Amino acid sequence: MPYFCIVQLKQMTMRKIDPKKLSVQERVEKLNDMILGGHILEAFEKFYADDVVRKENDEAVVGKNACRLQEENLVTGITAFRKANVKNVIIGEKVSVVEWEFDFCHEEWGDRKYTHIAVQQWNCDGQIINELIYNNNKNLEQ
């Protein structure tokens, strides 16, 4: 099967995911696969609750709309994407921890290469309700 057809099939499969029917481990795997596949905003819509609270390095953002703006600013500002890698995953009953490694260039923030740890609390609807993010986000030009 041609690569293009495989990618389209995978995209169609991702759209049909019902997070409520998945275990926490399956949700995390799907979420990470979508991010690695470049479907960051689509993954956000599917796996984040409307009343999500995201706290990154002591700065809290409340609500899906406010968090979506952060994601859009990240995604639309990337000018060169060199690497995204899931290094470690820990799964609990309604919690997950994912360690990421990112390397990219952003039009406002410059070159970035960092480790990103997301501690995610999941609700009964299969969505992230609370996310704590720790990262050592470094500007390589400093």
CA distance 111 to 125: 37
Per-residue pLDDT at 136: 85
CA distance 87 to 117: 10
Instruction: Note down the domain range covering 28.
Output: 3-135
Q: How many C-beta atoms lie closer than 10 Å to residue 139's C-beta?
A: 12
The mean per-residue pLDDT over the stretch 60-87 comes to: 95
- CATH number, domain of 119, equals 3.10.450.50
Residue 138 pLDDT level (bands cut at 50, 70, 90): low
- Alpha carbon distance, N-terminus to C-terminus of the chain: 46
The structure's pTM equals: 0.83
The mean per-residue pLDDT over the stretch 93-115 comes to: 95
CA distance 127 to 45: 10
Round the average pLDDT of the chain to a whole number and report it: 88
In a domain, 142, yes or no: no
Helix (H) or strand (E) holding 91: strand 78-91
8 A C-beta contact, residue 24 and residue 94: yes
Q: What is the pLDDT of residues 5-50, one digit of tens each?
A: 444 445 545 557 788 899 999 999 999 999 999 899 999 999 999 9
In a domain, 141, yes or no: no
Q: How many domains does the chain have?
A: 1
In a domain, 26, yes or no: yes
User: Is pLDDT of 97 > 90?
Assistant: yes
In a domain, 59, yes or no: yes
Per-residue pLDDT at 9: 47
In a domain, 140, yes or no: no
